[in-house]
Amino acid sequence: MALVHKLLRGTYILRKFSKPTSALYPFLGVRFAEYSSSLQKPVASPGKASSQRKTEGDLQGDHQKEVALDITSPEEKPDVSFDKAIRDEAMYHFRHLKDEIVAHWRGPEGRPLHDVLLEQAKVVWQFRGKEDLDKWTVTSDKTIGGRSEVFLKMGKNNQSALLYGTLSCEAPQDGESTRSGYCAMISRIPRGAFERKMSYDWSQFNTLYLRVRGDGRPWMVNIKEDIDFFQRRNQMYSYFMFTRGGPYWQEVKIPFSKFFFSNRGRIRDVQHELPLDKISSIGFTLADKVDGPFFLEIDFIGVFTDPAHTEEFAYENSPELNPRLVK
């Protein structure tokens, strides 16, 4: 119903205005906006149209084959069908939904179930082109008035992603903020048909596996679970990643049992295990309070099963802190 409401609202707005603007993109999607903008034709005024016809007649004598002017009279109306554009957008999502249902019947991600159960390692993100960078977003303390800068681009030979920038711990001059100095790279939440939120299921794996190359700075690896409660949007599970610096790649293996529970950057007294069956995103944060340039190069991010790691959870809980432990 929410999608129908958006489509109807977008249609009403477009019928009032002859040309769609970028403000309508959230209602009808980029594909619909591109479709409607491609159908728009300039409409000339009566005086300008007559002068253009005269100019065209003069040019036809000398350059009849080379000159081709597309002139629209005031009486002609652009052939724009917003209903057809809406149908095309809806059919696109329905086809996407059909592909998801077929893939679910065949098995997780369209693969046979026994192949998925026997899988010991999996590459979740890799960086081999611009489409891989589009799955990520970067942010810094500039959102609160800070001076840090962060950028993301493809590495050498399009075989990695390069996260770089400058960290500044200077607090914003707004009279309220007293701390600053962070840069982050966060994966976008995967989306299905009709913009439904999707999640990752890593329940059969026990270790996060990364191949990175840094400048010696420590990073925080953050994993968020798929939740719909607004009050819990700042909750995440975190652990440290220490880069060595130098020209050589390093392989980082972090067991999921080591990730601790935090809220708004503060470690909570009551700890919870990371729910591996509903992961929404992963991120990397630099906030080591050292001003200056930084870089982090990432080859791939994956998960795997380490048979030597048998630890279930690295942190203790007591009934005094967690009443749910009382039987």
Are residues 177 and 128 part of one domain? Answer: yes
Q: Confirm whether 161 is domain-assigned.
A: yes
Range 269-277 average pLDDT: 90
Q: Provide the pLDDT confidence category of residue 61 given band limits of 50, 70 and 90.
A: very low
Are residues 141 and 89 part of one domain? Answer: no
Residue 76, phi then psi, degrees to nearest 5: -75, 145
Q: Confirm whether 169 is domain-assigned.
A: yes
Structure tokens of 4? 């129908």
Domain that holds residue 86: 2-40+78-101
Q: In total, how many domains does the chain have?
A: 2
Kindly report the CATH number assigned to the domain that includes residue 189.
Answer: 2.60.120.430
Range 301-317 average pLDDT: 92
- Do 28 and 89 touch, CB atoms closer than 8 A? yes
Are residues 221 and 155 part of one domain? Answer: yes
More confident residue, 69 or 131: 131
Residue 212: pLDDT over 60: yes
Check residue 321 and give left, alpha or beta (phi > 0: left; psi -120 to 50: alpha): alpha
SS (HEC) of 203-262: CCCCEEEEEEEECCCEEEEEEEECCCCHHHCCEEEEEEEECCCCCCCEEEEEEHHHCEEE
Q: Percent of the chain, pLDDT > 90?
A: 45
Q: Confirm whether 113 is domain-assigned.
A: no
Q: Provide the pLDDT confidence category of residue 324 given band limits of 50, 70 and 90.
A: low
Residue 156: pLDDT over 80: yes
Are residues 125 and 94 part of one domain? Answer: no
Residue 194: pLDDT over 90: no
* pLDDT value for 250: 96
Q: Confirm whether 51 is domain-assigned.
A: no
Chain-wide mean pLDDT for the chain?
77
Largest CA distance in the chain: 97
Q: Confirm whether 54 is domain-assigned.
A: no
* pLDDT value for 173: 82
Q: Confirm whether 301 is domain-assigned.
A: yes
- Do 208 and 173 touch, CB atoms closer than 8 A? no
* pLDDT value for 97: 75
Q: Facing residues of 183 across strands? A: 140, 286
pLDDT tens digits, one per residue of 102-122: 766 666 666 666 566 667 899
* pLDDT value for 215: 95
DSSP string, 57-74: HHHHHH-TTT-------T
* pLDDT value for 1: 46
Range 231-235 average pLDDT: 73
* pLDDT value for 64: 43
Range 277-284 average pLDDT: 94
Are residues 268 and 234 part of one domain? Answer: yes
Q: How far apart are CA 170 and CA 180, in angstroms?
A: 6
